[in-house]
Amino acid sequence: MSHGHAEVLTSHEVHHDEHGAHHHQQSFISKYVFSQDHKIIAKQFLITGMIWAIIGGLMSVLFRLQLGYPDQTFPWLEDILGNWAKGGKITPENYYALVTMHGTILVFFVLTGGLSGTFANFLIPLQVGARDMASPMMNMLSYWFFFGGSIVMLSSLFIQTGPFSGGWTAYPPLSALGDASPGSKTGMDLWITAMAMFVVSSLLGGLNYVSTVLNLRTKGMSMTRLPLTIWALFFTAVLGILSFPVLLSGFILLLFDRHGGTSFYLSDIFIAGKSALPNEGGSAILYQHLFWFLGHPEVYIILLPAMGMASEILSVNSRKPIFGYMAMVGSLFAITILAFLVWAHHMFVTGLNPFLGSVFVLLTLLIAVPSAIKVFNWLTTIWKANIKFTPGMVFALGFVSLFISGGLTGIFLGNSTLDIHLHDTYFVIAHFHIVMGVSAFFGMFAGIYHWFPKMYGRYMNNTLAYIHFWVTLVGAYLIFWPMHYEGLAGMPRRYLDYSNWSSFNQFGDLNKFISTVAIIVFATQLLFVFNFFYSIFKGRKVTTLNPWGATTLEWTTPINPGHGNWDGEIPEVHRWAYDYSKDGHDFIPQTEPIGANESKH
Amino acid sequence: MTTTGLFLLAILALGFLITFQIAKASEYVSVLKGEKKSFEQNNRINGFLMVVFLVLGLVGVYFCNEALYPKTLMVHPSASDHGENIDTMLKITLLITGIVFFITQILLFWFAYKYQYNDKRRAFYYPHNNKLEVLWTTVPAITLCLLVGFGLYYWFKITGEAPENSMRIEITGRQFNWIYRYPGKDNTFGKKYFRMIDDENGNMLGMLWKDSTMKTPNGVQSLKADPTGYDDIIETTAMYLVKDKPVKLIINSRDVIHDVGLPHFRMKMDAVPGTPTTMWFTPKYTTEEMKKITNNPNFEYEISCDQMCGNSHYSMKGLIKVVTEQEYKFWLAQQKPSYKPAEAAPAASPAPVADTAKTAAAGTPNTVLAAK
């Protein structure tokens, strides 16, 4: 804790310099634990998210061991995992538990909580020019619900019947019937409880983000002067507010089916070795509608913040305005609207009415239009630029590359005709890991490297950052690119062993290769984590207010801003956030009044 | 922890330590050299790596394709008529997305390399251009309309009504195997009800083979026996299909959601408890012909369960035999209806093991037929 103490002291010094209403001594608990400062809450989300990412990533390493080496035993696994890996082999039950937990953790706890929790909290007040969120108290509760949900989810790993193991989508009847799978016993109750707390956290956060962006902008900060990060985080919050309640309702019905004897999702079920269940008349497909009504917007909840941050970072380090600002905002808006209208493309082969399916094909492929606009605008942004390859910038470029690769395969899967063949194969795994897994992670890394100096007043180590970037980029493609071919062979996802299948056992060597690369990439992420924590305490100190030469408001605050962000008045905004290389200036901050002879954009 | 484990950990820790020390040293060096100089050096290296990544990446894409394409299904013709449509659609999509992929990725990494920082140059202030933006809104929109058009044309063809003359087979999933049912001589499936399922007495599907009265949550129900089910054939070893004859599958599940995955036919449909689904297609090659086409003497059409259904999901395998009309008739003639009149039922038939996974492995659910 000695380092932590040092941090307390330095921040307190800054704190004393601060003017304004927030000048009072705070205890360690109220400053760092139950803090209402949006910056501290952002760091809490970030670090919790990082711990989750390590756990979730480690899970993938464990099940990749099984997939890559299905005929080998690893005695040391038993030392670590005990009964989960009796005799050095992961049992099917625990394999599925690992896969399910990996999905749940990464999608919700890392890429939703960890990503928009961190950057919405950190950036919204700083970039719109507010002292804090509209309701700091709700904001604090949002984190603690997230933390509570995390604890409940984590605890499910340690119960006798194991954590939930029916896939992160938790389709009933499998998820409703403890008799159908041991993971659907207590593990599922804990899973639902944790997810319910997560939804509460997400709503508390989202309402705050929206009201802050709408109401607490500083003087002169019109909506069209907002940096794209804020627009993206704003739309993310809107998506979450409108769709998470639907998910929660789906979970509640599931809970009723599990314990209340209702038949929302259950009908005509006979559990082998037991008996026929009393339920009749329910529809298992109803759950899928409710789930994917969140589940699809969820993809954009993950992706939009990454898009916003990449836009901002590309522009800053290209020393060029983002190309087509209004088109960027418009495409974010279009994605937000369309995100609600495409959910059933996850359900083309559930027996959905083919006509209904065709409507969803049209709407799904439509969403590629705003995505294409964004890609072309990013490309034009770096055209004739003067690019500084900061760690944030390289990750933003990597994000664009991955978004293109993963986005294009979405055009395959969104087309119901092709989805018949590719549904639930490794093609899907490859698609969504590239487009929303790795690329969202790249957006997140870009954001962390870019705003780390603002968060901690220090830099992260550049060399480690570049190693991290290149290994991860190359590794991500080596892992997921070949999976498309497995998908084209019809290889189903969620199998722990393909050796008994004459249709799918030709990929043994490839699976070994993928597993090996996955382990290397995972180890490289640990390097990043180390760099992060080491740099908090020992990184090179930031000596200038605006190390990247950016126009936005967060760089007008002190190097280590206290609660309240600005000493004295909040600055007034006079222009948009993208005046780079204009009229012979390298950049013109948003706070600078428009000059008399300035050219218009 | 075993010694190997410790050893691995030690190597990992050592690797970390070395990397970290190098990184730390390079930071000191950059402070000595001056921030500007080390920035320029870093920038050149990363700019260069961008173009290296692009070139190696494109080469990698080529070799990956060389190595893996032969292992996919695409090298052989699709085994069903619908599958041919799907393959055509795949090729159209691959062509269009492929062009976009190469253009955008090359531009991205090439621009990154070409426009890397240069002290003497200034970036070009270029905030927007309406013409360009309209161009790359409309071109993707038109292209996507094309894809939607093709896609829906095939989609309605595939999901449309099955031809009048198609054979009908019912396939029912359960944890963790498949049950196939043929309508028998009368070409009518007998009625069934899930509460009548009785694995021990050979009624895996809950056929209404006898009158019965039972208490259900909806009150007492009386069920009449359905004689059309007496000649139904219930099978678990393999599903027999006829070459060039359309087949309509009626898909059911007994417990959780399963999925009938037919990779060689490029077909797939969920099996949902309580909500029967259907799909139809026409097999084009017999299993024997496919052995020659794929050059694999052990070729079989496998049914994979494609929807997570429990801990033995990965072993839920079914089998399809595509045969000629004659072979099919011969096979059918050997099959006996699964119905057993009540009096003939052996009272003390050996109870199948409760664990269905084991049952599936041993292939025992045929006890019914064997007993007759």
Tokens of A477: 């493609």
Q: What is the helix, strand, coil percentage profile of chain A, to 5?
A: 65, 0, 30
The reply to whether residue B159 touches residue A283, judged by beta carbons under 8 angstroms, is no
pLDDT category, B219, cuts 50, 70, 90? confident
The reply to whether residue B155 touches residue A489, judged by beta carbons under 8 angstroms, is no
Strands B239-242 and B317-323: parallel
Position A590 pLDDT exceeds 60:
yes
Strands A580-582 and B177-182: unpaired
The reply to whether residue A174 touches residue B127, judged by beta carbons under 8 angstroms, is no
| Partner-chain residue, chosen from A322, A386, A507, that has the shortest CB–CB distance to B115 | A386
Q: Which residues of A touch B49 (CB under 8 A)?
A: 470
| Partner-chain residue, chosen from A351, A473, A489, that has the shortest CB–CB distance to B272 | A351
pLDDT category, B342, cuts 50, 70, 90? low
Q: Which residues of A touch B96 (CB under 8 A)?
A: 411
Comparing alpha-carbon positions, the chain A residue that sits nearest to B90 is A418
Mean pLDDT of chain B: 88
Helix axes A508-538, A38-68, angle to 10 degrees: 150
Lowest mean pLDDT among A184-198, A575-589, B16-30, B301-315: B16-30
pLDDT at A570: 93
pLDDT category, B3, cuts 50, 70, 90? confident
Q: Which residues of B touch A506 (CB under 8 A)?
A: 71
With residue B154 as reference, give the H or E element that holds it.
helix B130-159
CA distance B42 to A462: 9
Question: For residue A376, how many C-alpha atoms fall within 13 Å in the half-sphere facing its CB?
Answer: 23
Helix axes A325-339, A284-318, angle to 10 degrees: 170
The reply to whether residue A79 touches residue B5, judged by beta carbons under 8 angstroms, is yes
The whole-number average pLDDT for the span A357-386 is 95
CA distance A193 to B305: 30
The reply to whether residue A280 touches residue B309, judged by beta carbons under 8 angstroms, is no
The reply to whether residue B43 touches residue A389, judged by beta carbons under 8 angstroms, is yes
Burial (0-12, 13-18, 19+ Cβ within 10 Å), A123: buried
Position A404 pLDDT exceeds 70:
yes
Lowest mean pLDDT among A455-469, B109-123, B347-361: B347-361
Size of interface A-B (CB pairs under 8 A): 399
Are A301 and A276 a contacting pair, CB within 8 Å?
A: no
CA distance A164 to A94: 10
Q: For residue B237, what is the DSSP state?
A: S
For A72-87, the pLDDT digits (tens) are 888 878 877 877 788 8
pLDDT at A24: 59
Burial (0-12, 13-18, 19+ Cβ within 10 Å), B319: middle
Q: Residue ranges of the domains in chain B?
A: 38-117, 167-339+349-371
Q: What is the distance in angstroms between the Cα of A241 and the nearest Cα belonging to chain B? A: 29
The whole-number average pLDDT for the span A166-185 is 93
Q: How many residues does chain B have?
A: 372
Please choose, from the candidates A95, A465, A124, A144, the residue with its C-alpha nearest in 3D space to the C-alpha of residue B45: A465
Question: For residue B170, how many C-alpha atoms fall within 13 Å in the half-sphere facing its CB?
Answer: 22
Position A282 pLDDT exceeds 60:
yes
The whole-model pTM stands at 0.91
**Angle at the Cα of B197 from the Cα atoms of B191 and B200, rounded to 5 degrees:** 135
The whole-number average pLDDT for the span B287-294 is 95
pLDDT category, B1, cuts 50, 70, 90? low
Position B174 pLDDT exceeds 50:
yes
Comparing alpha-carbon positions, the chain A residue that sits nearest to B27 is A461
Comparing alpha-carbon positions, the chain B residue that sits nearest to A495 is B314
Q: What would you report as the CA-atom Rg of chain B, rounded to the nearest whole angstrom?
A: 31
Cis peptide before A92 (omega within 30 of 0): no
Position A157 pLDDT exceeds 70:
yes
3-state secondary structure string across A134-195: CCHHHHHHHHHHHHHHHHHHHHHHHCCCCCCCCCCCCCCCCCCCCCCCHHHCHHHHHHHHHH
Q: Which residues of A touch B97 (CB under 8 A)?
A: 408-409, 411-412
Q: Which residues of A touch B306 (CB under 8 A)?
A: 423-425, 492
The whole-number average pLDDT for the span A400-414 is 96
Mind giving me the DSSP string for B162-230?
PPTT-EEEEEEEETTEEEEEE-TTTT-PPPB-GGG-BGGGTBTT-B--S-EEEEETTEEEEE---GGGT
In a mutational test of the A interface, the residue from B43, B53, B125 whose CB has the highest number of chain A CBs within 10 Å is: B125
Number of other residues whose CB lies within 10 A of the CB of residue B216: 12
| Partner-chain residue, chosen from B39, B127, B302, that has the shortest CB–CB distance to A502 | B302
The whole-number average pLDDT for the span B307-320 is 94
The CATH classification number of B167-339+349-371 equals 2.60.40.420
CA distance B32 to B15: 26
Position A10 pLDDT exceeds 70:
no
The reply to whether residue B68 touches residue A482, judged by beta carbons under 8 angstroms, is yes
- Give the bridge partners for A458, in sequence order: A541
The reply to whether residue B5 touches residue A581, judged by beta carbons under 8 angstroms, is no
Residue B159, C-beta contacts closer than 8 angstroms, at least 6 positions apart: A354, A357, B279
Mean pLDDT of chain A: 92
For A490-504, the pLDDT digits (tens) are 999 999 999 999 999
Are B300 and A502 a contacting pair, CB within 8 Å?
A: yes
Please choose, from the candidates A10, A122, A105, A93, the residue with its C-alpha nearest in 3D space to the C-alpha of residue A50: A105
pLDDT at B30: 82
Tokens of A498: 């393909």
Tokens of A152: 């409940």
Residue whose structure tokens are 């590629």: A368
Q: What is the distance in angstroms between the Cα of B93 and the nearest Cα belonging to chain A? A: 7
Q: Which residues of A touch B298 (CB under 8 A)?
A: 502
Identity of the amino acid at B129: N
Domain A36-587 coded CATH 3.30.565.10:
no
The reply to whether residue B127 touches residue A272, judged by beta carbons under 8 angstroms, is no
The whole-number average pLDDT for the span B276-281 is 95
The reply to whether residue A461 touches residue B23, judged by beta carbons under 8 angstroms, is yes
Are B304 and A85 a contacting pair, CB within 8 Å?
A: no
CA distance A118 to B223: 61
Q: What is the distance in angstroms between the Cα of A38 and the nearest Cα belonging to chain B? A: 32
pLDDT at A2: 38
Position B26 pLDDT exceeds 90:
no
